[in-house]
Amino acid sequence: MKEKIITYLKEKGKSSVDDLASSLNMAGAKKFPSLIKEISKLESRGQLRFEQDGTLSLRKKKEEKEQITVTGIFRANKAGFGFVSVDEAEEDLFVGRSDTGYAVDGDTVELVIKKVANRLKGTAAEAQVVKIVEHSLKTVVGRFVLDDEKPPYIGYIKSKNQKISQKIYIKKEPIVLDGTEMIKAVIEKYPRRHHDYFVASVEDIIGHQDDDGIDVLEVLESMDIASAFPEDVMAEAQQVPDKLSDKDLIGRVDLRKELTFTIDGADAKDLDDAVHIKLLANGNFELGVHIADVSYYVKEGSALDREALARGTSVYVTDRVVPMLPERLSNGICSLNPNLERLTQSAIMEIDKQGRVLHYQIRQTVIKTAFRMTYNDVNAIIAGDKELTEKYSEIVPSIHEMAVLHKILEKMREKRGALNFDTSEAKILVNDKGFPLDIVLRQRGIAERMIESFMLAANECVAEHFAKKALPFIYRIHEEPKAEKLQQFMDYASIFGVSIQGTAHKISQTALQEFMKKMEGQPGSDVLSMMLLRSMQQARYSEHNHGHYGLAAPYYTHFTSPIRRYPDLLVHRLVREYDRPTDEKVDHFAQIIPEIANQASSLERRAIDAERTVEAMKKAEYMEEYVGQEFTGVISSVVKFGLFVELPNTIEGLIHVTTLPEFYQFNERTLSLQGEKSGKVFRVGQSIKVRVVKADKETGDIDFGYLPSDFDVIEKLTNAKKDKPRHSRHNSGSKVKTSKRSKQSALSQKKKKKPFYKEAMKKGGKHGKGSRKRRRSK
């Protein structure tokens, strides 16, 4: 009764006793006295008061009136505490376990500041959640556990989301559940002070716990990444013709006789870009980048468009792709399949031998690709493979000219200061049941880098075109790194004896480039490259052009992948609509682009999270077979609570500080741990021998145990170090999921199953970090 009264008065502000009784169904001789008794108790406790007009209202504490509230997004940690992002320019606010107010990860919350930040001491501001403005978690996916411990509920969901500590109880349903189901449920009741649990009702049974591939589906569904398309979207897709008509060609430049071809991975089905090249009489190159004109078929406001916007991007995880568009479009009429006429938007550029775009056209076109080439075949042709050279003799001259132009463009980008984080990545090979069989490394040859160069050139060209027209547009931006993160990197880099020109507040890309060149081939170079990448800000979409720091490009957008990225689809729409811009069109896009940019950035991060979560899960599942075995790896990260070690196959595990044989002190500046008695030091980039202690598919965690070896480094303890307070190995923090670790490069490749472990047992591998599935454009 008390909670109902308080909730009602919070919503209404004030109310008469009669209105309160009526609203709470407490009117009448039997119930009304109970209401009056409860009101009297609340008044005596100072929780509510009678106003002069006889109405009731809640009494606010004096200190609550004086507190200023702010609103932000709550990000939970599985340990119970969290952070709230209020402003991109400000540091996040720390929220302790007892101050979360039952907020769940992603909730929009209102909070008050308990303690301001102290920059001198390096402490963050602390805050307390006082109100949940909006719940982000509306549905939950997990394994249903049949349990009658809490009537009237029939059981609960065991969710993979480690940031949800409370149980999610399921209401009785007309359908019969036997405890083998993987279900999706709608949350009806959230945790509060008097009931620390969720209540939900079944929305759908997405499978059963023994189904093949259910583990990946569970991750995707839990992040609201739906594989199936709604009926209206599929119906609309079915209406899209699978062949071109004469009407479709009106107003388009006919490039069907141009020698164009696609270059993609062997398993790619959605071929959204093709290229052509010509060596001009003046010695310059004509490069044509032709992109599937998806916007011609996906009209603004249509069911297809709304669904594509809601998805934001295609999601790539191990053995499957969750596409942004139905396959009828992505693999059909929009895919630039060989010897078929296709509608495209083309950026045709004249590029000189310095890599400068002298002239360009951005046009609506129609093409007919001659060949569907793979990266492997193009790399082989460039390397001189006679059989393939003969087979594809018609386009071999074009391929070699493209290789020359690629080198010119690459040199141009390097000269202007583009940072090269070109790293290999791991590919998890699974069987038809989704079980990981092997982990190999993707190799990026000239063909892969060449196509990336051409896509970058087209993206820059289109962005500059619209920036100079000053029309509302969507850009792909990468802002300068924050000074504090860059300072941490510079401090650590100084340990290697190599200085960086500039300061953390003002440093050029060329200065960072020069630093990376100095370190090339030196011990720790891969580690420093990874750490520099970590110090960068995350690229995002914006209606404002801030340039792309990593590419050193003053103008940049995403134009080249409209089948799998909504911003590219929007850019194509803008190309068409701005052919004849009107005030009405300009105003319309000025209003909708900011929101689309924010949503696309958020959905991109969701896709990355899904890919990393599945990758960590599959790597842990793969390593379950190797528990107890010994390997040699490289220390990829040193934190207060332990060491992250990466094996040559990019698999990463944690040696927790509590498992080390003595107390270790953490040096934040040098990112190292040193034994208080032995002087043994662990640093990033150092080889180390480990034993696999545990691999947990459910959490994605892999635990290693340290093994003494010839790789160990011992340094003399200084008096200063000896005098420092001891840090107990039993209070050094908690483990971190491997799914949250950024994977930015890979190390070695073998074709047979598990051979790298045999090699790893003999020697340490080259260090790096693995990244998520490569995107062609940065």
Residue 111 in this model has a pLDDT that exceeds 50? yes
The more confidently predicted of residues 440 and 725 is 440
How is residue 569 written in tokens?
């689809």
What does the pLDDT look like over 330-340, one tens digit per residue?
999 999 999 99
**pLDDT reported for residue 769:** 35
**pLDDT reported for residue 66:** 52
What does the pLDDT look like over 688-730, one tens digit per residue?
999 999 999 988 999 999 999 999 998 877 654 544 444 434 4
What does the pLDDT look like over 421-437, one tens digit per residue?
766 578 899 998 999 99
Report the alpha-carbon distance of residue 775 to residue 400 in Å, rounded. 24
The band of 310, judged by pLDDT with boundaries at 50, 70 and 90, is very high
Determine the topology of domain 64-134 in CATH: OB fold (Dihydrolipoamide Acetyltransferase, E2P) (2.40.50)
The more confidently predicted of residues 289 and 722 is 289
What does the pLDDT look like over 180-204, one tens digit per residue?
999 999 999 999 877 889 999 999 9
**pLDDT reported for residue 117:** 76
Q: How far is CA 603 from each of CA 147, 225, 311, 360, 612, rounded to the nearest angstrom? A: 36, 10, 7, 32, 14
Find all residues with CB under 8 Å of 552, minimum gap 6, and list them.
Answer: 413, 416, 417, 418, 419, 509
The band of 121, judged by pLDDT with boundaries at 50, 70 and 90, is low
**pLDDT reported for residue 88:** 64
Whether the Cβ atoms of residue 538 and residue 549 lie closer than 8 Å to each other: no
How is residue 635 written in tokens?
């220390």
What does the pLDDT look like over 336-358, one tens digit per residue?
999 999 999 999 999 999 999 99
| Residue 204: how many other CB atoms lie within 10 Å | 13
- Produce one character per residue of 439-456: b if its CB has 16 or more CB atoms within 10 Å, e if not: bbbbebebbbbbbbbbbb
**pLDDT reported for residue 424:** 58
The more confidently predicted of residues 409 and 48 is 409
Mean pLDDT of the region 217-231: 91
The band of 453, judged by pLDDT with boundaries at 50, 70 and 90, is very high
Report the alpha-carbon distance of residue 364 to residue 454 in Å, rounded. 19
The band of 740, judged by pLDDT with boundaries at 50, 70 and 90, is very low
> What's the CA angle centered on 89, arms 85 and 90, to 5 degrees?
55
Mean pLDDT of the region 514-536: 77
The more confidently predicted of residues 530 and 592 is 592
| Residue 596: how many other CB atoms lie within 10 Å | 18
What does the pLDDT look like over 68-81, one tens digit per residue?
788 999 999 888 89
**pLDDT reported for residue 738:** 37
**pLDDT reported for residue 425:** 79
Place of tokens 């953490």: 666
**pLDDT reported for residue 719:** 54
Point out the least confidently predicted range of 425-434, 507-516, 517-526, 553-562.
Answer: 517-526
Mean pLDDT of the region 109-122: 79
The band of 524, judged by pLDDT with boundaries at 50, 70 and 90, is low
Task: Give the total residue count for the chain.
Answer: 778
Q: How far is CA 605 from each of CA 37, 42, 525, 644, 737, rounded to the nearest angstrom? A: 52, 47, 28, 23, 17
**pLDDT reported for residue 778:** 60
Point out the least confidently predicted range of 122-131, 220-229, 697-706, 707-716.
Answer: 122-131
Residue 48 in this model has a pLDDT that exceeds 90? no
Share of the chain above pLDDT 90, in %: 58
Whole-model pTM: value is 0.80
Report the alpha-carbon distance of residue 441 to residue 755 in Å, rounded. 12
CATH of 2-59, one of 1.10.260.40, 3.40.50.2300, 3.40.50.300, 1.10.10.10: 1.10.10.10
**pLDDT reported for residue 120:** 61
The more confidently predicted of residues 748 and 224 is 224
Architecture of domain 139-211: Beta Barrel (2.40)
Residue 684 in this model has a pLDDT that exceeds 90? no
Which letter does DSSP use for residue 330 in this model?
A: I
Share of the chain above pLDDT 70, in %: 89
DSSP 183-202: EEEEEEE--BTTB-SEEEEE
**pLDDT reported for residue 725:** 45
Q: How far is CA 230 from each of CA 213, 307, 363, 401, 555, rounded to the nearest angstrom? A: 22, 8, 33, 46, 37
Count of alpha carbons within 13 angstroms of residue 684, beta-carbon side:
26
Residue 277 in this model has a pLDDT that exceeds 60? yes
CATH of 627-762, one of 3.40.366.10, 2.102.10.10, 3.40.50.300, 2.40.50.140: 2.40.50.140
**Average pLDDT across the chain, whole number:** 86
Report the alpha-carbon distance of residue 559 to residue 47 in Å, rounded. 59
Report the alpha-carbon distance of residue 737 to residue 774 in Å, rounded. 22
**pLDDT reported for residue 122:** 63
With the C-alpha atoms ordered 557, 563, 564, 565, is the resulting torsion angle positive or negative? positive
